[in-house]
A and B are shown apart, each in its own frame.
Chain A
Amino acid sequence: MNEQERARKIALLSAETVAEIEHWLSKYPADQRMSALLAALRAAQHQNHGFLTTDLMDAVALYLGVPEIAAYEVATFYSMFETKPVGQHSISICTNISCWLMGSERIVEHVENRLGIKTGESTPDGKFFLKCEEECLAACDGGPMMQVDHVYYERLTPEIVDQILDAVAKKDGH
């Protein structure tokens, strides 16, 4: 990759993202820049409204000075990272055993109907992404639960879900 191309990619990171990466870098030894990869990818994903592109992953890798493949590895390993375009607000409904016993299927069905999409899909307006959650989200005492933009909401009923999603939509000015 030539210098122009490197510069172009690194320039994809916003000032806020760079500040965030620097914040994390300051916590690790100078020769351990790889340690900040997870946080750096999170910042880049946030900047891009919920998903990473190959260019952004490259930008993070180049900024940290690690091989590009290392960024791809981390981004594809953790389910919190999206490597394909998805809706702006990410909704994850836990369907693992505790939540399932507490009726998570009903919550999934309700959200699917409300948004008119299936799990794993995004709404056509690009506002919501209903993630296909495979793992326990670690709130077993509050099931059924969901995360909206990584914020936990517990003891859900369809009515509570509507309130939460209405609030999100309202904040966006709908």
Chain B
Amino acid sequence: MSDDLISIEVDGKKLQGRQGDMLIEVTDAAGIHIPRFCYHRKLSVAANCRMCLVEVERAPKTLPACATPISEGMRVFTKSPKAIIAQRATMEFLLINHPLDCPVCDQGGECELQDVAMGYGDGVGQYSETKRVVKDKDIGPLVATDMTRCIHCTRCVRFGDEIAGVRELGTTGRSEHMEIGTYVAKAVSSEISGNIIDLCPVGALTAKPSRYTFRPWELAQQAAIAPHDGLGSNLYMHIRDGAVMRVVPRENEAVNEVWLSDRDRFSYLAIQHPERLASPMIRVEAGWREASWEEALELAAKGLKAAGVGLHTLIAPHATLEELYLAQKVTRGLGSANIDHRLRQRDFRDQDALPVMPWLGHDVAELEQRQAVLLIGSHIRHEQPLLAQRLRKAALAGAKVSFINPAALPQTFAPLQNLGVGNAGMVSELAGVLAALAPSGLDESLAALVKSAVVDARHQAIAASLKSAQRAGVYIGALALAHPDLAVLRQLAQAIAQHSGASLGELASAGNSAGAWLAGAVPHRLPGGGSSAHKGLNAAEMLSAAASATLLVGVEPELDSLYGQAALDSLQQSGFNVVLTPFVTDAMRSYAHVILPMVTFAETSGTYVNVEGLWQGMRAVARPHAEARPAWKILRVLGNLLNLDGFDFMSSEDVRDELREACKNVQLSTRIDRHFAPLNQTPNTQSLQRIGGVALYAVDSLVRRASALQDTAEAQAAQHVRLHPQEIVRLSLVAGERARVSCGERQVQMTVQVDDALPAGCAWIAYGTQTSALLGDAMHIGIQPIDRPINMREA
């Protein structure tokens, strides 16, 4: 509406803004620069640094542009003598206690304080007394602190409060004694904490892992995409001599806004990991030896060809679209349809009824417009940290958000309902919500579920919230995708969405969990989503049976799948295993016959399709490690050596374009059109239900090797078994002590941790750790105390 527009004049230039806009928003939009430290457009206005003081006609004193709403006819001067005097004075005060340690400061060269001091400060300050010193805090392995440099802009404090929803940093003391910190010694635990590094305008908060390793002017900035969750965050990799020195967010309002999760920010640390494989390796009588690419590839091709239709191909869901497409092309070229990327799924019953790819149901940004949301089986803060941040925005704007999960998981806002019901309770709770919607015309199996459902106030509340909202969404997350009754959860989710008028969506877990479907990296669908006449084995079937040959692309099956040790056992039985991998492990040496070094995501060009179906491409930005090659090239050469048709690609773009052509008629949908009866689960009263998602920092081979992420308290805690305190008492365990966790023959020792959010009869053990891998995909476990050793001296 044009009458909402307000005309102002800044430095003689006529500008327009809307009622309620702050002056700095209008000048920023017009490209007029006003210096600032505390103002950030994603955070609330604090107006405490005073750097943005400007002269406003008829105002007796200069006013902070960040906290001055515009008004009709306002005349502003940003460079008048009065404004300049105010800015200079502010700068002088800010520098009183700021150390002159720029030469040893990591922020030097990209410091807002340096820049603004250069642009707006005076050459000399009048202050000659001693400067204050503030003790540094240890706030964890990701963020380094130099609190003497802090200018108290409180951006980091407001970020924790307003964006991350975990308020851990604060300002304690006042005046000269004011400090930013946690007061009590503790690590900042938010999964998006690294953003305070970017927000800090000075060198008080810097990236700990890359500290003192470069100067900003030595770096070249290259655009890239993060592959660790379904969002595909846009980022910049900062490169020196072909190596990734650090990662920062690349602004894209439609995807990650200006943020980056810690996982996406620090995963690059794994690129230089000592386990990187330098050259192709082949198995010989006496063990392993290095081989030339020609020799290794010919050997691999020979083995794969001999397997033919018996070939099993498993590819990581964070592989590029091109790798996924070529892996299926090689597999199908050999007459096999056994290809899958769904390594963390148990139930495949509904695969033929599913739409062309998992889809959010709308654009990413629309998530924050939802007025009611039901998340089914999703630890969204761990699975999709920045989608969780969008969800929080919706909740703060009044959306009623509910969760039905195996355990009541910690959220960053007050949910309407946060149910923790164990794996076994998921179906009945969803049936309760569906029954509360009083649906008619249900399919037979759903009608039976609804009939037997016990509806209580919680179900009523969730149902009412979805039904009364204009824009409601029902989403399925990774915990549901790993559920043994996934097909039933999906159809219940669809029915709830349908009968409440909500949209239905799936939170695709990894960078290409959606793209893999388009690329045909599933055993029942061709590239572009067409049904495959020849249906192959799914990931679970492949991982539980020996094959004549296996092709693994970027997969460490014991950690990347739910099957753990069982996956290794079946691979060891297989006739011939070719492994394309950036890292080589002892486990690989135990089952592989040929190991080919592939590069990581930073070293290859490729495309990722995110949860909303957005294709995002990147070029190779880092120099490949030693002899490692992009996997798409390795697969192309394998195709050539196998004499398969259609492997004449010159670039990854050619591969992408061929797939894009196959996808040109793809219509995104979330509709499932067949129904499935729930599995009969025999309640096992003797043992505990094992629940748990993939540990935050164990999602893929890269993240698992990012040293700083592994040093976080979160990664350490993922090694433990978590139990309700009553369960600990019942089992005669002691919190903090080791216990024996077993499933049949398999046993491991883990530390017991108290978690009162867990339902009775359940134990939370994260997937993706070396210890939990030994338990395989066990859904029921036993836990016993370890017999305490007798102290010989006392005895």
Residues of A within 8 A of B (CB): 2-4, 54, 67-70, 72-73, 76-77
Contacts and interface: CB of A to CB of B under 8 A. Distances in A.
B754 A2 contact: yes
B168 A69 contact: yes
Contact of A4 (B182, B183, B725): B725
Contacts of B184: 54, 68, 72
A33 to B, nearest CB: 13
Nearest to A78: B174
Contacts of B415: none
Q: Which secondary structure dominates chain B's binding surface?
A: loop
Contact of B173 (A2, A4, A69, A76): A76
B172 A77 contact: yes
A70 B167 contact: yes
Interface string B166-187: 0111111110000000111000
A73 B170 contact: yes
A3 B725 contact: yes
B173 A77 contact: yes
B110 interface: no
B723 to A, nearest CB: 11
A2 B755 CA distance: 6
B756 interface: yes
Given A3-B725, A77-B172, A77-B174, A69 B167 contact: yes
Contacts of B754: 2, 4
A98 B141 CA distance: 51
B183 A2 contact: no
Residue from the set B161, B171, B183 with the largest chain A CB neighbour count within 10 Å: B183
25 contacts: A2-B754, A2-B755, A2-B756, A3-B725, A4-B756, A54-B184, A67-B161, A67-B167, A67-B168, A67-B170, A69-B167, A69-B168, A69-B169, A69-B182, A70-B167, A70-B170, A72-B172, A72-B184, A73-B170, A73-B171, A73-B172, A76-B173, A77-B172, A77-B173, A77-B174
Contacts of A68: 183-184
A68 B161 CA distance: 12
Interface residues of B, number: 16
Contacts of B183: 54, 68-69, 72-73, 76
**Would you list the 3 A-B pairs with minimal beta carbon distance, nearest first?**
A69-B170, A72-B183, A67-B167
Interface in B703-730: 725
B170 A3 contact: no
A54 B172 CA distance: 13
A60 to B, nearest CB: 14
Contacts of A54: 183-184
B167 A2 contact: no
A167 B182 CA distance: 41
Given A69-B183, A72-B183, A3 B756 contact: yes
B172 A76 contact: yes
A70 B161 CA distance: 10
A73 B154 CA distance: 13
Contacts of A72: 170, 172, 183-184
Nearest to B414: A65
A2 B717 CA distance: 14
Given A54-B184, A69-B182, A72-B183, 10 more contacts: A2-B754, A2-B755, A54-B183, A67-B161, A67-B168, A69-B167, A69-B170, A72-B172, A73-B170, A73-B172
Nearest to B169: A69
A139 B167 CA distance: 38
B754 to A, nearest CB: 5
Contacts of B169: 69
A120 to B, nearest CB: 14
Residue from the set A3, A68, A69, A70 with the largest chain B CB neighbour count within 10 Å: A69
A76 B725 CA distance: 35
B291 to A, nearest CB: 54
Contacts of A76: 172-174, 183
B698 to A, nearest CB: 23
Nearest to A4: B725
A130 to B, nearest CB: 19
Nearest to B168: A69
Nearest to B756: A3
Contacts of A67: 161, 167-168, 170
A64 to B, nearest CB: 13
Contacts of B174: 76-77
A4 to B, nearest CB: 6
Interface string B730-758: 00000000000000000000000011100
Interface string B626-649: 000000000000000000000000
Nearest to B753: A2
Contacts of A2: 725, 754-756
A160 B183 CA distance: 40
A73 B184 CA distance: 11
Contacts of A3: 725, 756
Contacts of B725: 2-4
Contacts of B167: 67, 69-70
Contacts of B173: 76-77
A54 B182 CA distance: 12
A136 to B, nearest CB: 14
Nearest to B177: A76
Contacts of A73: 170-172, 183
Interface in B671-706: none
Interface in B598-649: none
Interface string B139-183: 000000000000000000000010000011111111000000011
A71 B721 CA distance: 32
Nearest to A58: B184
A76 B169 CA distance: 14
B400 to A, nearest CB: 16
Interface string B746-788: 0000000011100000000000000000000000000000000
Contacts of A77: 172-174
Contacts of A4: 725, 754, 756
Contacts of B161: 67
A6 to B, nearest CB: 9
B140 to A, nearest CB: 15
Contacts of B755: 2
